[in-house]
Structure formats: C-alpha cells, structure tokens
Chains A and B, each alone.
Chain A
Amino acid sequence: MYNAGKTFAIKEACRLCKKDGPTPLISLGSLLGSGESDSPYETSRLLKMHFEIAAKECEKTENCVCFVFIDECDALLSNDAVAGMLASLLDESSGNPGGWERLIVVAATNRLDAVSPFLRRPGRFDQEICVSPPNVQERVTILEALITSTVGITPSRDVLEEVSRACVGYVPADLSALVRRVFAIALEEELHDLTADLLTADLFMQAMLEVGASQLRGTALNNTGTTWNDIAGNSLAKVSSIFVLNLTENIHIFLNCFPFNKDGTSSSN
C-alpha cells in the first residue's frame, strides 16, 4: 500500500504516536450511515457526545492525546446543523482547558468546496493539508513495486521513467489499474512468458489509452462525433450556418489553390 493517503495518514500517525503514550482514535465518518442517527439533530448530538467522550478520555488518562477523525466529512457536513455543531465543538476544543486541549480533530474529504467556509477559517480547521498525487519519481517507485510484486520481474528504469512522465495525474489506484491492463494486453497478445524486455513503453502507452487518470476524467474531451442533427435550434438558422461554414471552408481551399504574394500578384502562372 502506498502510504501517503488521507485515511492512511491518520492511522499511521495514531500508530506511531502510541509509542509515546495512549493515543485513542475515534472515527466519526460512519455516523450518518450507521443507522444510529435518524436526523441531523441526532447526528449533531452523537457528534457532541463523541467529542465529550474523547475529552474525558484525555482528561482522565495521563499523557493521552486523542485523535478524532471524520472521514469523508463532506457527507457529514452537508447538513448545516451538523456543520454548526462541529464549528462550536472546534471552538470549544481550542478554548477549553483540560481534556479538550489534547484533542486533535482531523477531517478528510475529496470535495473541499463542499466544506462550509465558516469551518475553514483559522481557529476551526486551522490547517488544510493537500494530499497530492505522486510526482514522477514517486510514480516510478510505485510502478516498480506494483510490477515486481505482481509478476516478480523488474522492468528497466528507462521504461518506468518514460511511462511515469506520461502518467500525469495518475494516483496509485490508477497506476494499479494501468498495470493490470498491461498484463491483460500482454495475455491478449499471447505473451505468456513475460520478461522485463517485453514490458515496453509502447505496451504501457497502449494500456494508457484505456486507463486514464481518474481525477482528470471531468476535464478530458470526449469526441463522440456530434452532428448537426444533435444540435437544437431553428432549422433555417442551422442551414444558414452550414452554408456559411461550407462557404468559408471552400474559400480557404480556393485560396490555397491559388496562393498570392504579399503585393497581391499571383505567384502561379
């Protein structure tokens, strides 16, 4: 597993901090889907209850720091009542002495715009940390680890670097899908005895045509062959537009056939 994800970060931090003292982790990401709460107000009440439990735990246990983790917080905070309750709890944790002082609240989301602005001001969520996709060197490492762990061979470094440079925006999940697709293509081409020499950059590029970067899907162009019949509007206006466009195109073709000099004289005899 590539250890740079949001959820992994909090779990890893919790694991490492346990060496220095008690570090309980209270996960609140499943408050909405657990069936415990039927209404936003009930969710708010549960949220407050969990914070109070964490604060009491910190207060009664010496040297205890508690992580309160809200995974996929955009789902929980889409309701204004819950968001308001969280804001008041964050205010309370920063101003209250005792156990509240040792609460670390971590929220994770893929949709930053869905989090209310009043939660993102300093004093509430003080620090926003962007967990970025891997860079070129990290992609080389991930690809190498994926291929080696799957088929036990290590492709050449040049191939990996070339592929990694082309995989802009690929997250580790995309790279995993890419490697799986490469192996599928290799099987389709009956490359049963797969060696490092057969894992060429062309094979990866072929797979990249089908497996793209998941975060760039929204911005990728989709050429479906749109025709004039797919475009709404007055038919007369459409015919006029088609005529003008064709005329313009024909004029260009005509002018290209008879190129003129700058002074307006024809260069052809």
Chain B
Amino acid sequence: MAPRRGHLANGCCRLLAPIHDVDSQEFRTEWNLPSFGPVFVVSRECGALLCQMTEPVTYSSIKQTNPTTNIEVGFLCYHRVVKVVPWNGQEKRFGTSVDLPDFLRTLTQKDRYELHPLSTEDVQHRIGMTETCRSHNHATVSSIPSVEDAVEFISAPFCSKHVPLLAVTLRWKAPSSDNYLASSDLDMACIKRQMAGLSIAFRDQAITSELELSSAGMDICFHVEQVVGRKTSDEDFLYIVLPSTRITFLPPEIPNIDEPLRNRNVSQSTAERDATSHATRVLIETAMCLRGASGSLISKAFLLSGPPGVGW
C-alpha cells in the first residue's frame, strides 16, 4: 500500500527551523545534520509556506530510519528548488491595473527537486504524489517508480487569466460510497494540501473540470460543483487553487435525493447562496461537511449575536 502523505507529514516530520536558517552551518550542528548535502523540511502547511516565502529557494528535511544502510537517522531525502522568474506583466482588475501577487508567481513557476540516494521508497512515493497534485492538465500522472537523478516538472503555463480561487466545492465521484466513508479526515486534509496550485477551468457558469487525485493508493475523482472567485469580466477564466482557498467536500450523490433537486444546475444554487445570509451559509456548509465526513475537525457550535430586529 502506498504510504500516506499525511502520515509522513503528521507523524514523522516537523518543521525544523525557519526556511532562511536551514542552510546555515549552525543549524546543521544544532540538529546533528551532516555537513554537506541538501536538507529537507516537511511541514503540513507546505503550500502556505510556498505562498508566504519571498526567497526563491526552499529546503526540506525528513527524519527517518533507513534499514538498508543501517543509518539510524537519515535526514537527507530531497532538495527542492523553486525557481522564480520575475514577471513584469500586469493584470486588469476592476478597471485598475494591479500587479499579480507574489504568491501567484511562486506557484506558477517551474519546480525542480533532486532525490538523495538514501531516500527510501516512501519518500519517492511522496514525490510522485506531489507531482500528481501539481499536474495542471487534469490528467492523472502516475507515480514515479524510481527516481535517481533530478526530476523536473513544469507547472501550469503562466496565464494572465489565472484568478485566485476563494472557494471550491468538490463532490466525490467514487463508484461506491464505501470508498468515501473509509477516508479519514487526514486524507481529506492531504487532498486539500495537494490541491494547492491546481488550475480549474470555469466557463459560462458551467464547470468543465474533473479533478483526479491520488491519496493512499486510492484514486479519487471529484466533480467541481461550485467555484467562487473574483471574476473580472465575462471571459473564460482559469482559476487557481491557493492554500487559502476554502475547499468543501460533498459526499457522493445519494440515490434517494429527489430527482428535481439532483438536477438543479449550478446557477440555481449560486443564486440561492447569494440570497442567503452569511450565518445561513455557514450553517449549511457545516451540515454539508458533517454529512460527508467525520465532524471532529469541524466547528459545530455557533453563537449568533447581534441587535434585535435585524430579521424583521
């Protein structure tokens, strides 16, 4: 069974230091790291780090045992370089010219990473999954069976029509609901992490994208039901999923739902959503999440306050 990326990120790894200090010799001495070679830091918020950083280079470190070489602690696994190419273009938004934010530039550049010879199969699988999530042609990229040298992959071509996505709703398209129910909250969190950087095509209020992701050896197919982005004109857009994008999972379609309700289109539900208040929307989204997943990670108790007479 393929390793779970979330298990690696959650159990074995931790953020060792701020990114800028990782390459210093003092850091290597303090953490008993080898003097040479790349260092590899794994963080659960890797996507967020990528977005927040201003320097073009990130290093990562993982702590694990390699049974084949009898090294108790093998730190070095891969070295990742994110190249940032300055972009001088401008994007038209709401009639004014604004620079594209830095985080978007970072996410849309070429990525390159190198695997250390001591890296185990687990890490290679993880790299493969990382590449899968970075594929922007909406096709599944198979995991890399063995990676010895440098692997280079290219993110989505830079496009001025990339619009940061505020929220996206995904409906599970697994053939049976058992597959969906078997997934844990950790899987959901991992999938959300993997989605950072994905592009979603959106045309005429109708979604054309179907995402295929891989997690824990299980292929998952989602149908994007709704996207909420800052649309600037009536043109077609390519939305990009950021780590800050709110991602909501919906369970597979249930057969006992009334046929007219099942066939309601996106525009109807969008209009319905716009007509409801913020409090109502939060409650509806919470109910949707609870129907689809375990509720341990979801806020389920709400305190509504405000002056009387608002709902007259």
Show the binding face of A for B, using Cβ within 8 Å. Answer: 1-10, 12-13, 16-17, 19-21, 23, 63, 65, 67, 73, 90, 93-95, 97, 101-110, 112, 115, 119-120, 124-134, 171-174, 176, 214-215
Contact = CB atoms under 8 A, between A and B. Distances in A.
Nearest to B277: A4
B89 interface: no
Name A's interface SS: mixed
Contacts of B294: 97, 101
Interface string B240-262: 00000000000100100110010
B56 interface: no
Interface stretch (B47-55, B156-164, B304-312): B304-312
B254 A63 contact: yes
B302 A173 contact: no
Contacts of A67: 283, 287
B300 A104 contact: yes
B303 interface: yes
Contacts of A215: 307-309
Interface string B271-312: 010011111101110111011001110011111111111111
A5 B310 contact: yes
A126 B279 contact: no
B245 to A, nearest CB: 19
B306 A130 contact: yes
Name B's interface SS: mixed
A21 B295 CA distance: 16
Interface string B30-43: 00000000000000
Given A131-B277, A176-B312, A16 B303 contact: no
A171 B312 CA distance: 8
B301 A93 contact: yes
B254 A125 contact: no
B118 to A, nearest CB: 41
Contact of B311 (A3, A19, A128): A3
A110 B307 contact: yes
Candidate in B251, B261, B277, B295 with the most chain A CB atoms within 10 angstroms: B277
Given A4-B277, A127-B299, A21 B291 contact: yes
A195 B295 CA distance: 56
Contacts of A174: 309
A104 B303 contact: no
Contacts of A124: 301
A46 B300 CA distance: 21
Contacts of B303: 73, 106-109, 112, 115, 119-120, 125, 127-129
8 contacts: A3-B277, A9-B277, A19-B258, A63-B251, A107-B302, A131-B306, A133-B306, A214-B307
Candidate in A13, A21, A172 with the most chain B CB atoms within 10 angstroms: A13
